[in-house]
Amino acid sequence: MTFNSHSNTNRDINASLVYGKALPSNNVCEHWFVNINDSSNGQREKNFEYEPVQTIIHDIRSHESDTHIDITGFQALYSPSKVDAELILNGTEKQVKEIYYAEVEQLLKHVTGANHIIFFDHTIRKMRPGQLSDSPSKRQPVLRVHADQTPISAHKRVTRHASNVLWKRFQVINVWRPLKNPVYDYPLAVADFRSIHVLNDLIPTTLVYPPPLPNGETYSLVHNPQHRWYYWSKMTPDEVMLLKCYDSASRALSM
């Protein structure tokens, strides 16, 4: 499967993507870290630099069928929700889990063929201009290029929530959906997995959380001109984007 040559539509955009870059004194292979503790100036301690790169991001609108979670690493789907957005925004966590999770579970089973779905959390993100804090109750868009899971963090996550499935194939998948309105600013940008050089482009990065929380690990990405980037223009609440963060059956990403 390949994307059709629609890359110069008037909905393609030129945007600055924030990659990671090794400090002059460091080797790119040294383990990177970001201190997640809130800071008064919005800056977090880290041992690498940010490198903004102007990038063409292609619109997948009208070409959703060219995406597939097992090939491109993401999939765009029309999947209207029967759950009121107000429940997700203002309901209790118990209500969200009982009502919305059940709907997402059926979607994931249908798309992936999985016979068992386990949810480990959900997050609501909204751009809040002028706000420096990114506390759990006020999540903002993540404005740097990253992948949520490494093989190490994915296995730790599954061990924490469902250690009995470690001997089977498992996948870690994010499900993204706008809640109330079409997305006009800060849309989600995704890279075609086939355009990423796993050994050269992905840098394991420790997320240092305040005790007693355990540290996490994600991938930062260094720039590679071969990367192919996409977004879904004016994404609506009737649409979802599936993002594959890890697949234990992948030969490219293994322990």
Quick one: pLDDT at residue 7? 47
What are the extents of the domains in the chain?
13-81+141-157+172-247
What integer is the mean pLDDT of 204-215?
90
The per-residue pLDDT for range 107-159, each reduced to its tens digit, is 999 999 999 999 999 999 987 777 665 666 667 888 999 999 999 999 999 99
Q: Closest by alpha carbon to 143, among 208, 188, 200?
A: 188
Buried b (16+ CB within 10 A) or exposed e, 117-148: eeeeeeeeeeeeeeeeebeeeeebeeebbbbb
Query: Residue 41's pLDDT is what?
Result: 59
**1 pLDDT more than 50:** no
Lowest-confidence segment of 36-40, 147-151, 170-174 by average pLDDT? 36-40
- Which of 28-32, 76-80, 124-128, 225-229 comes out lowest in average pLDDT? 28-32
Phi-psi region of 29 (alpha: psi -120 to 50; beta: other; left: phi over 0): alpha
List, as own/partner pairs, every contact residues 69-72 make where C-beta atoms lie below 8 angstroms and the sequence separation is at least 24, other chains included.
69/111, 69/112, 69/173, 69/242, 69/243, 69/244, 70/244, 70/247, 71/1, 71/193, 71/194, 72/1, 72/192, 72/193, 72/194
Query: Residue range 178-201: average pLDDT?
Result: 95
Least confident of 42-51, 64-73, 81-90, 142-151: 42-51
* Amino acid occupying residue 240: V
What pLDDT, on a 0 to 100 scale, did the predictor assign at position 114?
94
- Cα–Cα dist 198/128, whole Å: 33
- Give the model confidence (pLDDT) of 189-199 as tens digits: 999 999 999 99
Count other C-beta atoms under 10 Å from residue 40's C-beta: 7
Q: Cβ distance 237 to 178 under 8 Å? A: yes
The residue written with tokens 């209790």 in the block is 92
| Cα Rg of the chain, angstroms | 18
Contact 149, 164 (CB under 8 A): no
Mean pLDDT on 90-94: 92
